[in-house]
Amino acid sequence: MDDKRARFEEQVLPHLDAAYRFARWLCYAPGDADDVVQEAVLRAFRGFEALRGSDAKAWLLAIVRNCHFTAAKQQQRRAFVPLPEENDEVDGHAMVATTPDPESDSIRSDQKKVLERLLESLPEEHRTVLMLREIEEMDYAQIASVTQVPIGTVMSRLARSRAALKAKWLQDVEGVPRAVR
């Protein structure tokens, strides 16, 4: 294996899972996410020299985002935008958590479905900022790099998405009796 490939595997590929999750949040259709991630990794490899010691995760995710927009534009040009379908859930097998879930009772799984739908209903740029913060645990500076917006915009999007989730979800679900907590 040549040197560039080895360095790429060491510095960039550890963030492949994060890139995959990010693509899933952007696309919301597993097949599309696969294509976007693969294209992004190849582009990252070709432009690996541009990384030069900066934050590899934020860099890779920024490329994923660009690939997603390129793909979305091409789809629009073909005037074909697949709508989310009922059976998308069957394809959702890849979203299996990597950790065993100790509480898998039906109430929890219902809540998870509600949460997933609510996240889907958020505007994309709000959803992605929220997930980068809460799930990828990136700081404001990294999120600003990935989404290419000023840090003030990151903050207002975070505030709005959190408020929307709280309003829609916590009120809804907290009416349901909880088995735990």
Partner 1 sequence: MQCAESLRVQAYFDGEVDAVSGAEIERHADHCNECRALLEDLQKVRATLRRDVPYAATPPKLRAQILRALDQEGATGLRIAETPPATSRTARRPPVFRGRSFWTGAFSGIGGAAIAAAMVFFLVLPGALSPLTNDLVSAHVRSLMPAHLIDVVSTDRHTVKPWFAGHADVSPVVADFESQGYKLIGGRADYIDHQRSAVVVYQHGPHVINVFTWSAGNLRNLSNTTRNGYHLAFWQQGDIQYCAVSDTGWDELLGLVRLMRAEG
Under rule CB under 8 A, which residues in 22-81 are in contact with partner 1? 24, 34, 37-39, 41-47, 50-51, 54-55, 57-59, 62-63, 66
By CB under 8 A, residue 106 contacts partner 1: no
Instruction: Decide: 144 and 151 in contact? Cβ < 8 Å.
Output: yes
Instruction: Decide: 51 and 12 in contact? Cβ < 8 Å.
Output: yes
* Dihedral angle over CA of 32, 35, 37, 39, nearest 10: -140
Out of 21, 68, 126, 129, the only residue in the binding site for partner 1 (CB under 8 A) is 21
Structure tokens at 144: 């600003």
- If you search the block for the tokens 């963030």, which residue do you land on? 15
Compute the least distance from the CB of residue 153 to partner 1, in Å.
Answer: 4
- Going by C-alpha positions, the residue among 135, 153, 131 that lies closest to residue 144 is 153
Out of 7, 121, 123, 135, the only residue in the binding site for partner 1 (CB under 8 A) is 135
At 138 the three-state DSSP class reads coil
Compute the least distance from the CB of residue 49 to partner 1, in Å.
Answer: 10
By CB under 8 A, residue 168 contacts partner 1: no
By CB under 8 A, residue 150 contacts partner 1: yes
Q: Which is nearer to partner 1, 85 or 139 (CB)?
A: 139
